[in-house]
Structure 1
Amino acid sequence: MAKRKLTGEQQAILEQVKQIAAGLGETLAPFTEVVLHDLRTPKHSILAIHNNLSGRQVGDPTTELGLARIEDDSYPQILANYANRFSDGRQAKSTSIGIKDSEGHYFAALCLNVDVTLFRSISTLLEQFSVPNAAVIKETLDPSTADSLRERIDRFAVGLATTPQALRTDQRRALMQALKEEGYLDLRRSMETIAQHLGVSRATVYNDAK
């Protein structure tokens, strides 16, 4: 698709949205990634990225939503709080806002991606804290997917009042022993999933599992 010429009006709007993106990035750090796209250049749409959580860079291409807005000016302007996922498996909550000019054409988009992993851990911790000692907790665990593995790691970390990425070496080794006993290490690509969720190398995970 040929690049559309940026009009004076669009340029003025884009400069303002850049400032909004920067302000949101500072306000919502470090748990929310804020990305500004120039939809006129879909193959190199990212103009700015604050609190980089996805690993993308300035000059990277737009997403499916950006392409949809390029093709259809009637596409919803605001898509809020939809489930998403970062490339390393972390769960996210995203909001995408299309930016139009006075003629109703999309030419930019402002996107927010919230890393909900820590919030989910805090929520679980608060829930556990508020349960009376007499309460009986029943749980069915199906260790058949990568999601269940990540959730098991989250629960282990919450039990230590920390996050998966902040586990000490001895805590990681205790985690690996628990995962081994519960059969999680038999899952396909389990070591890779564990390494990504803990934010360490696969070599470290293999060493901790010894």
Structure 2
Amino acid sequence: MAEEQGEDRQLIIDQLIALASGIGKTFAPFCEVVVHDLSRSDHAVVHIENNLTGRAVGDPATELGLARLADPHYKQVIANYQNQLKDGRQLKSTSVGIRDGSGRYVAALCLNIDLTQFHSVLGILEQFSRIETENGPLETLETTNNDRIKKHINAFAARHASAPRSLKTEERQTLVRELKLAGLLDIRHASSTIAKYLNVSRATIYNDMKLSNI
């Protein structure tokens, strides 16, 4: 009996891995797909597509996974909840619990979508819909100085059909010059904000500023 349950569970895991592979290939590179085997909570992660979160195969179950193990009536689908990476990037996440024939949770399929590139698309739309006025400065909806920097970076990346973290060296240096002309380098901790958002070191940003005579 236990052997049959093990075979059934492995069949479920194998099917989920195939599903994760298909989803991952379809929505690469901005959608991470993770398969969890909840029968081994200490090392539940068995497959990852498009790794965004830095997790590895063999990592333990998440809090959601443990909650499903503790309560077979726990909500099966938790969709579109907000998540965030350590570097500040925003994610939209969905977690789907998978039950076996007895109704117990044995696995989970989790999707994490990096919203950064979608913000870049929003930057394109913002550029397209901008209206010039002769009667004063344009209104903005920017709420914080960091948001101003990030919005400028997103718009720049969108113009170059790229993502902020995928900018080439020459593009990044051009971006730094634009930020200077926009007065955004004068914002407190601007270099740290830029470096973190582009996933480079502050020394790299300082070097870009030096090469641009800033």
Question: What's the TM-score, normalizing by structure 2?
Answer: 0.80
Counterpart for residue 19 of structure 1: 18
Q: In 2, are the aligned partners of 1:172 and 1:208 still within 8 Å (CA)? A: no
Output one character per residue of 1:153-183: Cα deviation in whole Å (capped at 9) or x when no partner. Answer: 3244446665323152431431552576564
Q: Which residue of 1 aligns with 2:96?
A: 97
Structure 1 residue 128 corresponds to structure 2 residue 149: no
C-alpha spacing 1:155/1:65, structure 2 compared with 1 (3 Å): same
Question: Which SS does the other structure have where 1:97 is aligned?
Answer: strand
Q: Find the partner of 1:170 among 162, 168, 173.
A: 173
SS of 1:21's equivalent? helix
Give the share of equivalent positions with the same residue, in percent.
Answer: 44
CA deviations on 1:82-129 (whole Å, 9 max, x unpaired) are 111122221111111001111111111101111111111112312431
Structure 1 window deviating more from structure 2 (25-34 vs 191-200): it is 191-200
Structure 1 or 2, whichever has the larger Rg, is 2
For 1:193 and 1:132, locate their aligned partners in 2 and report how far apart those are by CA, in whole Å. 28
What SS is found at the alignment partner of 1:22?
A: helix
What RMSD in Å do the two structures reach over aligned CA positions?
Answer: 2.8
State the shift of 1:55 in Å: 1.6
Q: 2:139 corresponds to which residue?
A: 138
Query: Quick check: 1:96–1:112 contact (8 Å CA) kept in 2?
Result: yes
- SS of equivalent to 1:15: helix
| 1:8 to partner: Cα distance | 2.5
- Deviation, structure 1 residue 148: 5.3
Letter in 1 for 2:128: F
Question: Residue 62 of structure 2 aligns with which residue?
Answer: 63
Say if 1:209 and 1:6 are closer, same or farther in 2 by CA, change over 3 A. farther
How far residue 132 of structure 1 moved from its aligned partner, in angstroms, is 5.1
Counterparts of 2:9 and 2:38, CA distance in 1: 11
Instruction: List runs of 5+ in structure 2 lacking aligned partners.
Output: none
Answer whether contact 2:20 2:33 (CA < 8 A) is retained.
yes
Gap change, CA 1:162 and 1:178, over 3 Å in 2 = farther
Count residues in correspondence: 202
Q: Distance in 2 between matches of 1:148 and 1:65?
A: 34
Offset of 1:52 from its aligned partner?
1.0
- Structure 1 stretches of 5 or more lacking a match? none
Aligned to 1:41, the other structure's residue is in SS state helix
Q: 1:169 to 1:30 in 2, by over 3 A?
A: closer
Task: Summarize the Cα distance change of 1:179–1:108 in structure 2 as closer, same or farther, 3 Å threshold.
Answer: farther
Distance 2:205 2:183 in 1: 12
What TM-score, normalized by structure 1, do the two folds share?
A: 0.81
Q: Distance in 2 between matches of 1:174 and 1:42?
A: 49
Pairing of 1:142-161 with structure 2 (within 5 A):
142-143=143-144, 146=146, 149-158=149-158
| Aligned residue identity for 2:79 | A
